[in-house]
């Protein structure tokens, strides 16, 4: 693996290798000294064109625990401002000698562009591009599901498990990445959203089952995991994706009553940050079977695995 840009087309064995490596990484984090010397002398640049403190610190922690040097580069700019072009920033980083660039960008495809343009020679790790993909988020979700629901997780996929992804699928890179990855790993994925928040082309993807209400989905299946997506408040006004937050909560919110309809072993997930009381109630967010906080910890392990496989993987894999 040279880059990690998307989960579409990520081979099952590669995905499983990342998850297995993440498990090893997680094990090292139980030790007294958590820092590994693996990436000593390598430089990892966190290139963030969009604010995301959570994702940035997760990558930063992952790189530092592998002893890489970390440079944080925040090049925030609006989508219309041409002040800071991706190309010029990339050329600057190349001149500084980045071994890996972790990029978060408002434009879909920015990570792929960076990887294929020749602007940088290092590995590119997509930390979220527009409304396209966020592969490490999907990998940490898969890791979390596997850890909880697969009896002997090492080397295994998610075969036979059923996962619901609920909410703004149209704008969600998390849903974009999970749709591909979870099905590649053998899970059955149902997406649940108002038709206004589903991409027009989604019906062409036979591997995804679509529900327009959460209640119908809960009636239809015993879900092993339910993933609630964040509702972005700017989607509500003007663009008219749904009439009101109250109506959204009534139809798509995970509350105590709906939680009670889930099977006992089912886990509750959210990529964060949550809007408590909107897409998820406090009872659901803080329930014993909620794994939301654990997702954050698993994120570090998965990102350590991704950096390790990209930067040191060739010696290590064989």
Which are the catalytic amino acids? Answer: 54-55, 82, 104, 134
Q: Measure the CA–CA gap between 161 and 39, rounded to whole angstroms.
A: 35
Residue 14 CB: number of other CB atoms within 10 A? Answer: 15
| Least distance to another protein, CB of residue 108, Å | 4
Closest C-alpha among 183, 137, 185, 132 to residue 14: 185
Kindly tell me which of 17 and 205 has the beta carbon lying closer to another protein. Answer: 205
Q: Tokens 């794994």 belong to which residue?
A: 291
Distance separating alpha carbons of residues 3 and 312, to the nearest angstrom:
13
Rounded to a whole number of angstroms, the minimum distance from the CB of residue 16 to another protein is 23
Q: What is the DSSP string of 174-204?
A: HHHHHHHHHHHTT-EEEEE--GGGS-GGGGG
Nearer to another protein, 107 or 274 (CB): 107
**CB of 205 or CB of 276, closer to another protein:** 205
Residues 6+ apart with CB under 8 A from 57: none
Using an 8 Å Cβ cutoff, are 155 and 133 in contact? Answer: no
Quickly count: other Cβ atoms within 10 Å of residue 278's Cβ: 19
Minimum CB–partner distance for residue 130 and another protein (Å):
5
Beta carbon nearer to another protein, 23 or 86: 86
In angstroms, what is the minimal distance from the CB of 178 to another protein?
Answer: 13
Crossing angle of helices 53-65 and 292-311, in 10° steps, is 50
Q: Smallest distance from the beta carbon of 82 to another protein, in angstroms?
A: 7
Q: Which residue, 117 or 265, is less far from another protein as judged by CB?
A: 117
Cβ neighbours around 36 below 10 Å, total: 16
Residues at the site binding another protein, with contacts judged by CB under 8 A: 8, 79, 82, 85-87, 105-110, 112-113, 116-117, 129-133, 173, 176, 199-202, 204-205, 239
Q: Which residues neighbour 27 within 8 Å (Cβ) at sequence distance 6 or greater?
A: none
d(C-alpha 131, C-alpha 151), whole Å: 34
Closer residue to another protein in complex, CB, 85/265: 85
The least CB distance from residue 278 to another protein, in Å, is: 23
Distance in angstroms (rounded) separating the CA atoms of residues 183 and 193? 19
């Amino acid at each position: 693996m040279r880059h990690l840009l998307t989960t579409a087309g990520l081979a099952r064995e590669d995905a499983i290798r990342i998850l297995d490596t993440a498990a090893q990484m997680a094990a090292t984090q139980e030790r007294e000294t958590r820092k590994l010397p693996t990436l000593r002398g390598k430089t990892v640049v966190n290139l963030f064109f969009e604010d995301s403190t959570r994702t940035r610190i997760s990558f930063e922690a992952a790189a530092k625990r592998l002893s890489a040097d970390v440079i944080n580069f925040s090049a925030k700019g609006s989508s219309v401002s041409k002040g800071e072009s991706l190309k010029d920033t990339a050329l600057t980083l190349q001149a500084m000698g980045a071994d890996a660039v972790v990029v978060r960008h408002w434009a879909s495809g920015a990570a792929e562009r960076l990887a294929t343009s020749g602007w940088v020679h290092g590995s590119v790790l997509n930390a979220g591009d527009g409304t396209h993909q966020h592969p490490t988020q999907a990998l940490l979700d898969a890791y979390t599901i596997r850890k909880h629901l697969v009896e002997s997780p090492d080397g295994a996929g998610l075969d036979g498990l059923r996962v619901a992804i609920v909410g703004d699928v149209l704008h969600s890179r998390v849903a974009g990445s999970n749709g591909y990855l979870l099905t590649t790993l053998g899970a059955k994925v149902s997406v649940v959203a108002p038709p206004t928040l589903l991409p027009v082309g989604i019906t062409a993807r036979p591997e995804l089952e679509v529900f327009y209400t959460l209640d119908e989905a809960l009636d239809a299946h015993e879900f092993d995991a339910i993933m609630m997506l964040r509702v972005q408040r700017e989607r509500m006004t003007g663009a008219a994706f749904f009439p009101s937050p109250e109506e959204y909560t009534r139809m798509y919110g995970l509350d105590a009553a709906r939680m009670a309809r889930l099977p006992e072993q089912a886990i509750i997930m959210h990529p964060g940050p949550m809007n408590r009381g909107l897409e998820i109630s406090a009872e659901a967010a803080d329930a014993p079977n909620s794994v939301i906080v654990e997702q954050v910890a698993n994120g570090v392990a998965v990102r350590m695995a991704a950096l390790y496989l990209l930067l040191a993987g060739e010696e290590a894999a064989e």
